[in-house]
Amino acid sequence: MNKTFKSFRNAVGSVLLVLAFGLFQCPAFAQLSRTITGIVSDQNGDPVIGAGILIQGTNSGTTTASNGSFELPLMMSGDVVLTVSSLGFREKTVIVPAAQSQVDIVVEEDMTQLNDVVVVAYGTQKRASLTGAISSVSSQAIKKTRNENVINMLSGKMSGVRVIQTSGEPGSFSSSINIRGFAAPLVIIDGVPRDNMERLDANEIESISILKDASASIYGMRASNGVILITTKKGQAGSSSIEYEGYAGFSTPINTPDGLQAWQFMEITNENNIMRGSMPPGKFIYPLDEIEKFKSGKKVGTEWYRINNNKYSPQTSHTISMSGGNDKILYFTNFAYFSQNGIYSTRDLTYERFNLRSNISVKVTENLKADVQINGMMDTKNSPYYDTEIFYRAAWIERPVEAAFANYTRPFLQNVSQGYNPYVISDSDLSGYKKICERLVQATGALTWDVPFVSGLQAKASYSYDYTNRDNKELKKSYTLYTYKIDSNEFVPSIYGGKDDDPKLNSIRRGTKFNQNKLLQTSLNYDQSFGSHHVTALALYEEQTTDMDNYYAQRYIQMNSLGELSNGISEGQVGSMDPSYYSSGVRIADQSGLWKIASKSVVGRINYDYAERYYFETAFRYDGSSKFYKGHQWGFFPSVSAGWRISEEPFMKNLNLGFLDNLKIRASYGHSGDDGTANFQYIEGYSYGSGAIDWWPILWDGKDQNLVSLLSTPNKNLTWIRTETSNLGFDGDFWNGRFGFEFDIFQRYRSGKPATKNVTIPDWLGQSLAQENLNSDRTRGFDVTLRHRNHFGEFFYGITGNLAFSRTMNRYVEHTEYGTRYLNWKNNSSNRYNDISWGYDYAGQFTSLDHIWHSPVMDGLGNANFKPGDYMYEDWNDDGVIDENDSHPIAFGAQTTPVLYFGFTIDFTWKAFDFAAVFQGGAFNNVKYEWYLSTPFIYDKNGPDFFYDRWHMEDPSANPLDPRTIWIPGYLPTTSQASPAMSSNVSTSRASLHDASYLRLKSLEIGYIFPKRWAEKINASSVRIFANGYNLLTFTGLKYLDPEHPSSGYGTTYPLICTANFGVKIKL
């Protein structure tokens, strides 16, 4: 495969090089005919800076200088037509006669953007004619945020689009995106469903549109969560152009607390052991005089996090694009490279990516056009064998009183708990490595025929082939840690990382996944106007097949790298050739799988508008899926929408509302489907065991026999998840586009969500059941966009804000009875929102032993284990006992995605300077960090430094059970790990559940365009320099931690990062 891909890559590169060389040379033979000069100004006579002036029918043009002047060399004779465009002004066309070389142009102000073209399903529409809830963002707006992940670049820019970044780990692509709080949307890239959105290069994207309502129904299957439409750039007729854009910068972690200093850790460890009764009062694990040595600086502890992480890590990006063509052929080619290092001090965590895209369009005849689109991507992630979560957990909890090397002596690495010495597990040479390589090739060929004998009729056929290969290489090496014995002055070794029964053996694994996706589309498009009537229609047939194949193999062996396999292996390397040794786990382990999914679809759509005033659209999709049994494979998904531009009515015109540009009401309703269930549940399947190593062997005649068991009961009635979506929207533009808004309210109802009845059928049935169409839910919400654009002389500015709110209610969830009335109420999820947090009402903290003794019992033991500072809870049900029956809903708001999500963008230009800032935030989301905030110092390990602000005894030698002991209040409870005090402090309550609402300065960029005369000195038409930052500031009430950091697991994933870059863009 590697050889094939290299050959393909070299061939494509050669063709593009020859094509580019030929096109670049053509202008050299043209002769300069004349130069047109002039000034572009507005109606007030003020110069328009940066206006684009294009020779119609070509790609040749220029931009105006700071005084509005321009110079445009011509390589042609005769009359020319110039098109002048600038943000905030109406596009203007000017004819310049052959004998004229000077022209002054006055443009009219217009900020409505109603004539902007928006990409919709299987086509384009003017913004004014949209009847669905569709948001869009241009390439220029996308690139106001610089990030390796395109998903992150959309954060805060479109209403209803929610982006949550949970990690800054290079190559992890852990950010999630959803529309209106639904699950992951369908992504369409250049008309083809594809899942590599996050790995695209932003410079190859022309625009992104989001279908949020029934406008997505035309995509039927998997469109119930909305659709993201990505359109890549195409070439334009005219002289060729070359653009280079590159930047270099650094990243640094944000909102990451420090660990406790050694003396703080020693104090808290002493407290913890006294509190839980492991040590009597006055007896310490760490003597007070030893603590003082660390506190005074005579002794220095180990800051595990700091010594194993750099404060800054580098990143860089380089992009070269070429575009142009003539009336016969158009081309766009983009090559990009990106690399990023992690913050590991070993520098063993890296990611790099190469992108190549070539879009070529050829006019074969007057009515026939051929398009070829090729996209290639190669990326590689290198990392130590142990995942970042294991590393960061170890870096946080390891005792700061222990050195990285035993007795501070190299090379004897310190033996720590579970063998996870951060110094070792972040070093690929010591503990092993992972190398993940992904190779992707996507190709689409299309023929478009304008039928000559039927005006407005167009036929199109396209075929797409996508191939993805993911190759995973892993080497887990055994390593030795040492414990220093003072009495014998020796270093005692312990081996970790190897096989359980033979630690010296390393583990090697190789896994590969192949994915092929083929899509055939044929369509007829009709577009015709009859006076004030305008009709468009679409008929399309589509079939898609996806083939997936994967395997992995693993064995234990004595070797230091996968490269050693090329030298062969000996019997000594595997230890023994005895079959019993192989059965113990040294033998090769392997696994593989094959999947094939197929679907067919028929699509139809009709659009009608009258006098650009009344709009109507109806569409359907008829989908067939191979996942279901005959009779249930096909689903019919219709939709309808309508719009009424009230502002175009004669009675509105007669009101002479000069401030009103556009006022429109629109509504939509549609069905869509989802076949997101396990494959082939209508087929009976069996599990065939493997004798002695099977979990449940059958003993027959003194020997283990293979076990054959039924996998699950087949269900031939399983079918589509059905989704009904409705939307009502309002659009308005005022004062020549200076102000505008979009407001939508929506509802989505899903029925037939797959679930099993295992929870209501007793276990003695002895068999798992297949899924059935049982559950349902409903989501309601709204989203709004507000816009304002204006200018004062040479100062142009714009502010765009968006806000979205949605909640989902489970209408029906299959469940069993739970025994008591309270438990049935608590565990029944039907007709209940899915973002409810259950817990206890917080009643403060115990302030003294007397307070504890006279408070309601919380542990069944007379509160014997509680200490001053521990949390108190309300007796919610007034039964005199505080127990699990007092748990009730205490908050709403998802713990991963905010219920309320908002963002706003501020941008302005002044002369040659430009500025853009993107803010993004969320509200009504809560987090409970299971490791950070729940169980610090467990097993006498370390924790974040903010735990030092805790309730503790003034005299560390005092008795915590003596009423006379003086306590110093703190923000957090005592550090006691004694149960049930610990259970009380970590239980979900209004004290442990934290409001994670936030506002973040997501990105900021400042740029400057050099004067044209300076650019011409390097034979460039334009040179822009810029500086930008990402995740720069965060405003939140959440103490100590980042609001987007995941609360699941141990809360010790790779931190979010702030980046700063400096770059340049040169256009030739």
Q: What is the pLDDT of residues 896-952, one digit of tens each?
A: 678 999 999 999 999 889 999 999 999 988 887 655 555 667 777 888 888 888 899
Rounded CA gap, 930 and 829, in Å?
A: 24
Stretch 259-269: mean pLDDT: 91
Same domain, 123 and 228: yes
Given pLDDT bands bounded at 50, 70 and 90, which one contains residue 9?
Answer: very low
Q: How far is CA 758 from CA 580, 768, 769, in A?
A: 40, 7, 6
778 contacts 811 by C-beta, under 8 angstroms: yes
What CATH number is attached to the domain comprising 39?
2.60.40.1120
In a domain? residue 160: yes
In a domain? residue 39: yes
Q: Identify the DSSP state of 653.
A: H
Tokens of 688: 């065939």
pLDDT tens-digit series, residues 395-409: 888 899 988 899 889
In a domain? residue 491: no
Stretch 708-728: mean pLDDT: 84
Which of 700, 717, 734 is a domain's end point? Answer: 717
Tokens of 768: 């798992």
Same domain, 128 and 230: yes
648 contacts 196 by C-beta, under 8 angstroms: no
**1016 or 43, higher pLDDT:** 1016
Residue 568 has pLDDT above 70, yes or no: no
In a domain? residue 61: yes
Same domain, 165 and 194: yes
Give the DSSP letter string of 13-48.
Answer: HHHHHHHHHHHHHGGGG----EEEEEEEE-TTS-B-
Domain hosting residue 710, numbered range: 683-717
In a domain? residue 344: no
Which of 182, 208, 235 is a domain's end point? Answer: 235
Rounded CA gap, 361 and 365, in Å?
A: 12
Stretch 699-719: mean pLDDT: 71
68 contacts 41 by C-beta, under 8 angstroms: yes
Tokens of 733: 């533009």
In a domain? residue 139: yes
Phi, psi of 282, rounded to the nearest 5 degrees: 90, -10
5 contacts 441 by C-beta, under 8 angstroms: yes
Residue 584 has pLDDT above 70, yes or no: no
844 contacts 852 by C-beta, under 8 angstroms: no
Same domain, 121 and 227: yes
Q: Return the pLDDT at 670.
A: 94
Least confident piece of the model among 970-979, 992-1001, 1015-1024: 970-979
Rounded CA gap, 686 and 672, in Å?
A: 34
Phi, psi of 1061, rounded to the nearest 5 degrees: -135, 155
Same domain, 55 and 100: yes
Q: Return the pLDDT at 608.
A: 96
Least confident piece of the model among 309-313, 695-699, 959-963, 1017-1021: 695-699
Which of 672, 691, 717 is a domain's end point? Answer: 717
Same domain, 131 and 198: yes
Given pLDDT bands bounded at 50, 70 and 90, which one contains residue 675?
Answer: confident
Q: How far is CA 404 from CA 301, 310, 411, 483, 952, in A?
A: 10, 16, 10, 11, 30
What CATH number is attached to the domain comprising 128?
2.170.130.10
Mean pLDDT for the chain? 85
Given pLDDT bands bounded at 50, 70 and 90, which one contains residue 518?
Answer: very high
In a domain? residue 125: yes
Given pLDDT bands bounded at 50, 70 and 90, which one contains residue 575?
Answer: very low
Chain position carrying tokens 């369009």: 361
Domain count, the chain: 3
Give the DSSP letter string of 943-961.
Answer: -BGGGGSB-EESSTTS-TT
829 contacts 835 by C-beta, under 8 angstroms: no
Same domain, 129 and 226: yes
Stretch 472-487: mean pLDDT: 92
Phi, psi of 775, rounded to the nearest 5 degrees: -90, 165
pLDDT tens-digit series, residues 536-563: 999 999 999 999 998 888 888 765 555 5
Q: Return the pLDDT at 116.
A: 72
Same domain, 162 and 201: yes
Rounded CA gap, 304 and 326, in Å?
A: 62
Same domain, 204 and 104: no
Q: How far is CA 997 from CA 128, 801, 924, 1036, in A?
A: 35, 18, 6, 6
319 Cβ contact list (under 8 Å, min separation 6): 201, 203, 243, 244, 245, 246, 334, 335, 336, 337
Q: From 974, 969, 999, 968, select the one nearest 986 (Cα to Cα).
A: 974
Same domain, 146 and 183: yes
Per-residue H/E/C for 189-254: ECCEECCCHHHCCHHHEEEEEEECCHHHHHHCECCCCCEEEEEECCCCCEEEEEEEEEEEEEEEEC
Q: How many CB atoms lie within 10 A of CB 906?
A: 15
Same domain, 62 and 146: no
Tokens of 564: 């050693």
In a domain? residue 1001: no
Tokens of 410: 């190299």
Same domain, 192 and 106: no
Least confident piece of the model among 243-252, 280-289, 492-501: 492-501
- Please, what is the angle between helix 262-275 and helix 288-296, to 10°? 150
Stretch 476-487: mean pLDDT: 92
Q: Rounded to an integer, what is the distance from CA 995 to the centroid of its chain?
A: 22
